[in-house]
């Protein structure tokens, strides 16, 4: 089991992340799966959900 949060990578921009690397090479490998959480999965303070939604919106806008 590997756990991580790609929104919290503290590496320099030019330094590759092992987490994002495995997310590109392991899909489709037998017995490997990925679970992603969104703001709906947060059961903390509502402000945390708002912050996560803001990051998700920003990420979506920069991919478009």
pLDDT tens string 12-31: 888 888 878 888 898 999 99
Largest CA distance in the chain: 38
Report residue 8 as tokens: 């919290």
Please determine, for residue 8, whether its predicted confidence score (pLDDT) is greater than 90: no
Report residue 45 as tokens: 């303070």
Structural domain count, the chain:
1
pTM for the model stands at 0.51
Distance CA 54, CA 36 (A): 17
Q: What is the pLDDT of residue 25?
A: 92
**Would you say residue 1 lies in a domain?**
no
Range of the domain at 58: 6-63
Please determine, for residue 7, whether its predicted confidence score (pLDDT) is greater than 80: no
Average pLDDT, the chain: 84
Q: Do the Cβ atoms of 30 and 44 come closer than 8 Å?
A: no
């Amino acid at each position: 089991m590997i756990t991580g949060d790609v929104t919290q990578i503290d590496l320099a921009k030019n330094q590759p992340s092992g987490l994002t690397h495995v997310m590109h090479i392991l899909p489709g490998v037998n017995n490997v799966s990925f679970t992603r959480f969104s703001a709906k999965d947060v059961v903390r303070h509502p402000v945390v959900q708002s912050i996560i939604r803001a990051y998700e919106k920003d990420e979506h806008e920069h991919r478009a």
